[in-house]
Amino acid sequence: MNQPRALDTTPRALPSSAPARHRLMTQPPSPTLVALPAIIADIGGTNGRFAIVARDGSVGPTTVIETRHRPSLDEAIDLDLRPLSPEPIRSAVLAMATVVEGEVIQLTNGPWFAEPRAMIAKGGFSDVIVINDFEALALSLPSLTDADLDPVGPRLPRGAGTRLVIGPGTGLGAAALIDANGVWVPSGGEGGHVDFGPKTARDAAVWPHLPGLFGRISAESVISGTGMVGLYRAVAAADGMPAPLSTAPEVGEAGITGTDPVAVATVDLFCRLLGRYAGDLALIFMAKGGVYIGGGIAPRFAPVLQSGGFREAFLDKAPYHDLLAGFSTAIITHPCPALAGLAAMVLDPARYAIGLAGRRWTA
């Protein structure tokens, strides 16, 4: 378990004249979404990030727990989180990297699952809410400032309207945040699992060598940590080159440092494919409020993303090149944006219109 670190949930350099819905409350309004103290959690295939929202509305330090270091979510809560709260924890609000449906919510790319009724019966919770992890990430977008963003392409003003977040990590997530007359409406899903085919001659040379995931080529098959080794080996096969690296971190590091030519080509292609995918979703959602790149990979690939290939592929959507040229694109650099989004939802629920039917369990 990593050492706890402070979670900055307060937007930085936010003008005092900003509308109330663009400020994250530091004291809970009445009522809060759930009873406090509450655990908030952003749980992916590799790591779970947790914080505790105290009864006074303050948000405690972030605790990062690798999923392989605890056999279950329940054990992580009991052993690592309950001791951090001076009062009994009354609620849990979880964002998980999966489709949220049914009574047992299983991570798509990880061993943990949540069973809300059992958490209430055995753990003493009065409320358990589970939403998609990228839906939680979308909730943070109104609170992000320029200090939380690293532009990809020109620094453009963030327009009014729908905002979009995508993110390659262990898998590939996507969500939209719709501005509905001053109320934010998140729209989550599993956009990483859409079919993804070749477009350029380079793609056509690489595609036959891709192993795919779940028996097909999806966007996540190539634009994710899970798919990166397969993409690396496919690039090597297409170019008749050796592929000595065996893990995604190795490929990423070698691609950034230039120590392996196949890795360099892989990271460049990865970023171009991410740009193509981002442009497709930007058109689907008409994301005039900007497209934001989250997840664990993008900050490490920032130099390549900003070198031009991402933005070029993003704009290559004739006849809508000029339209997309007005959409900002940026890497999220806030250390825990999904937790900040969950904290905003818990402390100021009137700010959002989010459907919780089938995703909220009460004692």
Q: What is the pLDDT of residues 100-132, one digit of tens each?
A: 999 999 998 889 999 999 999 999 999 999 998
Q: Is residue 1 part of a domain?
A: no
Reported as a pLDDT band with limits 50, 70 and 90, residue 170 is confident
Q: Is residue 5 part of a domain?
A: no
pLDDT, residue 271, reads 97
Residues 151 and 31 in one domain: no
pLDDT, residue 19, reads 32
Q: Is residue 8 part of a domain?
A: no
H or E segment and range at residue 81? none
Q: Is residue 76 part of a domain?
A: yes
> What span, in angstroms and rounded, lies between the C-alpha atoms of 152 and 149?
9
Nearest one of 279, 284, 33 to 139, comparing CA atoms: 33
Q: How does DSSP assign 114-130, residue by residue?
A: E-HHHHHHHH--SEEEE
Residues 89 and 236 in one domain: no
Q: What is the mean pLDDT of residues 309-329?
A: 96
Residue 348 tokens, joined: 């100021």
> What span, in angstroms and rounded, lies between the C-alpha atoms of 115 and 275?
36
Q: Is residue 10 part of a domain?
A: no
Q: How far is CA 320 from the centre of its chain?
A: 27
Q: What is the CATH number of the domain that holds 345?
A: 3.30.420.40
Residues 315 and 176 in one domain: yes
3-state secondary structure of 133: helix
How many of the other CB atoms lie within 10 Å of CB of 310?
Answer: 28
Domain residues for the domain of 219 are 147-332
Q: Is residue 212 part of a domain?
A: yes
Look at 22-36, 101-115, 275-289, 324-338 and tell me which has the smallest mean pLDDT.
Answer: 22-36
Residues 324 and 358 in one domain: no
